[in-house]
Amino acid sequence: MALLRNKNRYEFGPLDPRDDLDIDVHRMRRASGRGIWFESMRLLRDIILILAIFVLFGVFVAQPVVVDGESMVPELHEGERLLVNKLIYYNIERFDWGHIQRGDIVVFWYPQDPNKSFVKRVIGLPGELVEVRRGRVYIDGKLLEEPYLSPAKNRSSLNYSGKRVDDHYFFVMGDNRDNSLDSRTWGLVPEKYIYGKAFFRYWRPSNLGILRRGAARLKDPERTPPRDRVPDDDDPRARLNGDIDLQ
């Protein structure tokens, strides 16, 4: 029995790696220092990754802009902040957000001073003939119906002689036609100057939401009824019927 008691007796003292292979000896201060350094590097890595994603998002996908002026009232007001979609560079025809269409609100460098940016609505597409008759827009002779306009901001009845839109150019106008400097004044906008299509308004909170393409559509102009004609006495139909049936 005495031998058994001696066998289970242990000598207490400083730990040694040779005592048990399953025991790991750590220096707490050194391990703590390495842990803080490791976590700091991981945090720095995550911050750099997030910043890189935001930079790439701003360069290739979307960009914030601020509305300056009242030329797009009632759709946009001064001081509002928008996100513009920059994917139009890729001209993806299958998707609305991938290319420019009539009724889109676009942001572009002002052709006469590329240091300035303007926001307007696309009215005329490449190859089309744009005219303004008594304040109303005609595309290739067809009336352009624009339900997004406010009658109170479009009282002018001025005319604009026809302008054929060149390839890779667009004819743009503000929704506030009575107070807008646009293609009627300084000409067409090169496609390469358009750097975004507005799709989301994130300020002011009262108008927060998605900006949709204006529902503009072309309508055949009303036909002028034919003038009445005086019957010709030599026309046998006039002698038989007393008048001429105009078709």
Q: What secondary structure letter does DSSP report for 246? A: -
Question: Tokens 């976590």 label which residue?
Answer: 39
- Catalytic option among 86, 120, 153, 197: 120
Amino acid at 192: K
Question: Tokens 């991938």 label which residue?
Answer: 98
Helix (H) or strand (E) segment spanning residue 120: strand 113-124
CA angle at residue 77 from 154 to 104, to 5 degrees?
70
**Is 142 one of the annotated active-site residues of the chain?**
no
Q: Provide long-range contacts, Cβ within 8 A and 24+ apart, for 218-221.
A: 218/139, 218/140, 218/142, 218/143, 218/144, 218/145, 219/142, 219/143, 219/144, 219/145, 220/142, 220/143, 221/138, 221/141, 221/142, 221/143
Question: Tokens 């360069």 label which residue?
Answer: 59
Neighbours of 145 (CB within 10 A): 13
**Is 71 one of the annotated active-site residues of the chain?**
yes
- Catalytic option among 7, 32, 71, 219: 71
Pairing of strands 81-85, 217-219: unpaired
Active site residues: 71, 120
